[in-house]
């Protein structure tokens, strides 16, 4: 902004100098005309009046030029102070630039860390939703099992129940022989948790859960 103002003042100064030279030339021409006149007449008086007007205009232009020169000097001093201030603050600005660069690096690392956490969280949510879906499907399958038909007296229900592993045995086998598939293992844990509500004190399951147990724990039976 200061450099633009200085350039504009320089242009105005040059224009005033040009017009000042023009006025001087016109004044000189009028003086020569007055000197060649044999005696005063109306034309000479008119030329002298014009000469006086031109002289006054020249004086005004000179004063304007002086003001412009003073303004230019003042602007030059301001520019010099600004240059010295920039030189003095140069190291400080460099330090601030280094600090800003370090802050940008820290911010970039934070963004990358947050992005990784968001991706991991989305993956965990997907796994959880799949696990919930399987648990719900297992619960619906268990609820859909029809009530058992009464067994004949020769084959009492307690003896049939003993043929199926107890819940405690199933829990032990799941812990000792975990499935290679993470979702299958989680589904077995969820099924054990679900079946706890239906076992007796010995861990024996009702016969209506035989198909569910076979479906969820088949390779462990």
Residue 187 CB coordination number (10 Å): 20
No. of helices (H) and no. of strands (E), the chain: 6, 0
pLDDT in tens, 103-116: 888 888 887 877 87
Q: Where are the chain's structural domains?
A: 2-114, 145-220
| Alpha-carbon dihedral sign for residues 53, 59, 64, 69 | positive
pLDDT mean across residues, the chain:
76
pLDDT in tens, 47-95: 566 667 777 777 787 788 788 788 878 888 888 888 898 888 877 767 7
pLDDT at 146: 61
Query: What average pLDDT score do residues 135-142 get?
Result: 78
Asked which of 66-70, 124-128, 193-197, 215-219 is least confident by mean pLDDT, the reply is: 124-128
Rounded to 5 degrees, what are φ and ψ at 146?
-65, 155
Of 77 and 3, the one with more pLDDT: 77
Cα 49 from Cα 144, distance rounded (Å): 123
């Amino acid at each position: 902004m200061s450099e633009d103002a200085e350039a504009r003042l320089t242009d105005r100064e040059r224009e005033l100098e040009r017009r000042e030279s023009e006025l001087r030339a016109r004044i000189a021409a009028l003086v020569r005309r007055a000197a060649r006149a044999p005696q005063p007449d109306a034309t000479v008086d008119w030329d002298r009046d014009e000469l006086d007007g031109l002289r006054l205009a020249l004086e005004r232009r000179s004063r304007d030029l002086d003001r412009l020169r003073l303004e230019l000097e003042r602007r030059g001093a301001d520019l010099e102070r600004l240059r010295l201030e920039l030189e003095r603050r140069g190291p400080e600005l460099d330090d601030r630039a280094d600090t800003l660069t370090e802050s940008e690096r820290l911010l970039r690392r934070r963004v990358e860390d947050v992005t990784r956490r968001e991706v991991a969280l989305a993956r965990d949510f997907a796994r959880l939703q799949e696990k919930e879906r399987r648990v719900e499907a297992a619960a619906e399958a268990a609820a859909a099992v029809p009530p058992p038909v009464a067994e004949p007296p020769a084959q009492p229900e307690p003896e049939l129940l003993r043929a199926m592993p107890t819940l405690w045995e199933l829990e032990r086998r799941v812990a000792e022989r975990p499935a290679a598939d993470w979702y299958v293992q989680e589904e077995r844990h969820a099924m054990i948790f679900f079946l706890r509500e239906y076992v007796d004190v010995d861990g024996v399951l009702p016969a209506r859960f035989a198909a569910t147990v076979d479906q969820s724990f088949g390779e462990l039976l």
